[in-house]
Chain A
Amino acid sequence: AQSVTQLDSQVPVFEEAPVELRCNYSSSVSVYLFWYVQYPNQGLQLLLKYLSGSTLVKGINGFEAEFNKSQTSFHLRKPSVHISDTAEYFCAVIPTGGGNKLTFGTGTQLKVEL
Chain B
Amino acid sequence: EPEVTQTPSHQVTQMGQEVILRCVPISNHLYFYWYRQILGQKVEFLVSFYNNEISEKSEIFDDQFSVERPDGSNFTLKIRSTKLEDSAMYFCASSYTQSAVEAFFGQGTRLTVV
Which range holds the interface residue count of chain A?
A: 20 to 34
Given contacts A102-B45, A104-B42, A106-B42, contact A43 B103 (CB under 8 A): no
Given contacts A43-B106, A44-B91, contact A104 B43 (CB under 8 A): yes
Residues of chain B in range 83-112 having any CB-CB distance to chain A below 8 Å: 91, 93, 95, 98-101, 103-108
Confirm or deny: B48 has a beta carbon within 8 angstroms of a beta carbon on chain A.
yes
B101 x A51 contact (CB < 8 A): yes
Residues of A within 8 A of B101 (CB): 32, 49, 51, 94
Number of B interface residues at 8 Å Cβ cutoff, please give it: 29
Residues of A within 8 A of B18 (CB): none
Given contacts A44-B91, A94-B99, A107-B42, contact A101 B105 (CB under 8 A): no
How far apart are the CA atoms of A105 and B44 in the complex, in Å? 9
Given contacts A42-B107, A43-B105, A43-B106, contact A101 B91 (CB under 8 A): no
Nearest 10 Cβ contacts at the A-B interface: A43-B107, A44-B105, A104-B43, A100-B48, A101-B45, A100-B100, A43-B105, A106-B42, A104-B42, A43-B106
